[in-house]
Amino acid sequence: MCSGRVDLEFVLRAFSNGQDGVLIGGCRLNECNYETHGNYDALANTYICKKILERIGLNPARLSIEFMSGGEGKRLAEVIDGFTARIKELGPLGEAEGLEKSVIRRALDSARKLIPYLRLVEREKLRAPVRSEEAYRAFFAGDEVNRLFDELVGDNLAISRIVSLLGERPSSTREIAERLGLSASEVARHVSSSSRQGLVRYDTDANCYTLALAPA
């Protein structure tokens, strides 16, 4: 299967199911058998997914992509051994990050709900201008892309996580901040936006936020 078909859904689902690391293998860049050069799509998705992992508190080093030809069996073995050693050093998913499994699963599920939107953002805003490994690395490490990602994806991801959390139980600003690793000001901004969208409301009797009631 072409590495370009390794969708964000596959990677996030693997982590959501408890995998400690994900390694994507693709053919060498600029040596793709297809005109679409899907391995560049896989490279872009890897950078985007690393940004998502970082923003929900997981070590982005748990995800890696490597490019090699079908005849490089020895290198394949070395890559797998090296990646396995790295993941063992990091430890079980969430342990080194200090996150409970339920928190990780909720955050990843929230990210998965945004995948259709993420595909659109990638196509419209997060395409590197030149197809080369160096260009992609520089593009996704750039301040402008980080700003765009926070603006277009980061806020939506935070709101999705807040809505998911409130789906379990009503919570105060402090509780939301503590459970999601956000600042109180970030929570206030996101719940304000969510309130305008009709997603959450403030329960004045209980002094906490809860999901907005669905219209009758």
Q: Which domain holds residue 37?
A: 3-168
pLDDT, tens digit, for every residue of 189-211?
A: 999 999 998 999 999 999 999 99
Cβ atoms of 85 and 38 closer than 8 Å:
no
Contact 86, 78 (CB under 8 A): no
Q: Which residues are registered as beta bridge partners of 25? A: 66
Report the pLDDT value the prediction gives residue 144, as an integer from 0 to 100.
Answer: 92
pLDDT above 90 as % of the chain: 70
Q: How far apart are CA 50 and CA 95, in angstroms?
A: 18
Residue 149 located in a structural domain: yes
Q: How many percent of the chain have pLDDT more than 70?
A: 98
Strand partners, 211: 200
**What is the DSSP pairing of strand 63-67 with strand 22-26?**
parallel
Q: Which residues contact 43 (CB under 8 A, 6 or more apart)?
A: 26, 29, 65, 133, 136
Asked whether residue 175 is domain-assigned, the answer is no
- Amino acid in the structure at residue 88: K
CA 128-129-130 angle, to 5 degrees, is 95
Q: What is the pLDDT of residues 59-78, one digit of tens each?
A: 999 999 999 987 888 999 99
Q: What is the pLDDT of residue 200?
A: 94
Give the β-pairing of 200-203 and 63-67. unpaired
Split into its structural domains, the chain has a count of 1
Give domain status of residue 216, yes or no: no
The band of 216, judged by pLDDT with boundaries at 50, 70 and 90, is: very low
In a domain, 202, yes or no: no
Calpha distance 163→169 (Å, rounded) = 10
- The answer to whether position 209 is within a domain reads no
For the stretch 122-139, pLDDT in tens is 889 988 989 999 999 999
